[in-house]
Amino acid sequence: MDLLPQASLFLGVIPALIIMYISLKGYEGYYKDKIMFLTFIAGIIMGFIAAFVQSFTISLSIIFIIVLSFFDQLFKTIVLNLRRFQTKSETPIYGLSLGLGFGSSFTPFMIIATAAISTNNIYILTFITIGSVGIILFHGATGAYIGFGVFQGKLTRFLITSILLQLPFNLLLGLMISYSNIDTLNIQIIFVCLVIVYGLLSFFYVIKKVLPLIIIQIERRKRSKKSKV
């Protein structure tokens, strides 16, 4: 069991890479592999910092639910709002990579935080590990969403929306960890499922409704340039 926190880093990174590989089918040629790799690594680093800070405040407090929602999304915004990404059509894709890396860093911290209050129950830690997939999906979704806001030149609107979306998500995370010291597995399973469903819904919306707009707008720009010529 002592090796689990160290090994759990891979339990976060591997699902994130698989999700990214599946999500980017059909977008080949719209991004650069090097930048995808760098944004993913940057996300992991920033995620570790964010998760470390949050490990001191994991609860149902106002600080955890509200302030940290702003804190997490601001981290992604700092990178995606760099000059090289502004108004670029591929920025939402890099935002997806950044967000997935960011979310993957939370897996070891979630396991450590849960183990600290639930006597290292292997079943509970397994459910928490599964639930962390919801965290990866949610942060991947909001990373892409903020990236789309940067691309559209409407960063403030998309940032505020991402923060608001994280408020109920943080509440679910707080409940999932808080109830991990209860012997009844049914309650723990409920909150784990809610976290996964919330992450899935957020991710599905971005993949199906937001990212396809990139290709549409790129094609419009190409047609516009041809018509001018």
Query: What is the per-residue pLDDT for 30?
Result: 85
Query: What is the per-residue pLDDT for 49?
Result: 87
Tokens representing residue 161 in the block: 């929306």
pLDDT digits (tens, 9 = 90+) for 62-110: 767 788 889 899 999 999 999 999 888 899 999 999 999 999 988 777 7
Instruction: Specify whether the CB–CB gap between 114 and 177 falls below 8 A.
Output: yes
How many angstroms separate the CA atoms of 58 and 225, rounded?
51
Mean pLDDT of the chain, nearest integer? 83
Angle 60-62-68 (CA atoms, 0-180°, nearest 5)? 95
CA dihedral for 49, 53, 55, 61, sign (positive or negative): negative
pLDDT digits (tens, 9 = 90+) for 10-48: 778 889 999 999 999 888 888 899 999 999 999 999 988
Answer with the residue of higher pLDDT: 2 or 163: 163
Domain ranges of the chain: 4-228
Q: Which residues of 127-144 are buried (b: 16+ CB within 10 A; e: fewer)?
A: bbbbbbbbbbbbbbbbbb
For the cut 80, the answer to whether the pLDDT of residue 169 exceeds it is yes
Query: What is the per-residue pLDDT for 229?
Result: 53
Q: What is the pTM of this model?
A: 0.87
Instruction: Specify whether the CB–CB gap between 88 and 158 falls below 8 A.
Output: no
In the chain, what percentage of residues exceed pLDDT 70? Answer: 79
User: What would the mean pLDDT of 137-158 be, rounded to a whole number?
Assistant: 95
For the cut 80, the answer to whether the pLDDT of residue 227 exceeds it is no
Query: What is the per-residue pLDDT for 120?
Result: 57
For the cut 70, the answer to whether the pLDDT of residue 215 exceeds it is yes
pLDDT digits (tens, 9 = 90+) for 132-146: 899 999 999 999 999
